[in-house]
Amino acid sequence: MTRLTEGDLKGLDNQIRDYDKNLKKICGASLMEIAALAGDITTASFNEAMTKHTVGVIPITSGQGIIGNFSQSVKSFIDYLGFHAFVTNSHDVSGIAEAIARKASLIFMADDNQFIAVNLNAKKVVDNGEATGRGFAAALSLLAGGLKNRQVLVVGAGRVGTHCVNYLLAEGARVAVFDIDKNKISSLVPNITIEDNLSDAVSKYRYIIDASPEQGFMTLDNLHPETRISAPGMPLGLTADAFAAFEGKVIHDPLQIGVATMLAMAVNKS
Ligand code: 2YC
């Protein structure tokens, strides 16, 4: 799991409106619609939930400590989606106590190993890795007009990639997976095809999910011009010139789709 940096998150709170506009342009759906699809709830129930929940975001100092802009960014995305959210003044245990004292029914917090949302009423925990995997797979599906029987390449079989695979298989896509660690893929067969050569695989598939920390493996030389890419992986796997050339065909962000989908999954009553 790649640890985000303060720089990765700089300015995202002010840019969320423009980011959402760009998402609609690329996949015809808003951040809320992508999250609702990935979280398996209707936008109506999402809208109803925002009148019922207050969200506390709690800075956590354990391990490598607080990341500048992290809690503020998470809060700003949740605010943007229509929920009332606050970042606690205290951190860690005191932050949890403060959030509950301030009537939060949902709390968001991350240490170095896990980023979770907790629905205190439903006693439900949602993991960012699962939410991010589902969110970026749902976004690709919307962009493609559905992925049933379509061949999709997933690069990276970690926590996010594995949940991308689960979502795609449930949608009836034909999934291929590349990971440098073959052991990570073994648990996914026989439901998926294994790709052994990354650059060849990039050339072969028209739908690609980059759920890896690998940089610069998608280039102008190996990408087909019609390829569509959904990229939860940090840093982005496209070279700068490929990213520029594929403007409008790449869905990528460090945190927004994952947080929005965590919210949808956390308020899902089923
Ligand atoms: O500021 C804080 O509260 C820090 N404890 C947050 C640490 C987040 C570490 N995780 C990451 O950077 C990301 C997650 C957002 C998902 C995967 N890696």
**Strand ranges in the chain using DSSP code E only, listed in sequence order:** 54-58, 84-87, 106-110, 115-119, 124-127, 151-155, 174-178, 193-194, 207-210, 228-231, 250-252
| Ligand 1 mean position, distance from CA 255 (Å) | 10
Confidence at residue 189, expressed as pLDDT on a 0 to 100 scale: 87
Give the model confidence (pLDDT) of 106-136 as tens digits: 999 999 999 999 999 999 999 999 999 999 9
1, 6, 9: residue to mutate for ligand 1 pocket, most atoms within 8 A of CB: 1
User: Residue 252 CB: number of other CB atoms within 10 A?
Assistant: 21
Least confident of 176-190, 219-233, 249-263: 176-190
What are the φ and ψ backbone dihedral angles of 26, each rounded to 5 degrees?
Answer: -75, -50
d(CA 60, CA 93): 9
pLDDT given at position 85:
98
Q: How far is the CA of 71 from the centre of ligand 1 (A)?
A: 9
Cα(2) to ligand 1 centroid in Å equals 9
Nearest C-alpha to atom 9 of ligand 1 is from which residue? 112
Tens-place pLDDT, residues 65-108? 999 999 999 999 999 999 999 999 999 999 999 999 999 999 99
Q: Which residues line ligand 1 (CB under 6 A)?
A: 1-4, 59-60, 66-67, 70-71, 110-112, 115, 128, 255
DSSP secondary structure of 216-270: S-B-TTTS-TT-EEEE--SS-SB-HHHHHHTTTSEEE-SSHHHHHHHHHHHH---
Q: Which atom of ligand 1 lies at the shortest distance from residue 61's CA?
A: 5
Q: What is the DSSP letter of 47?
A: H
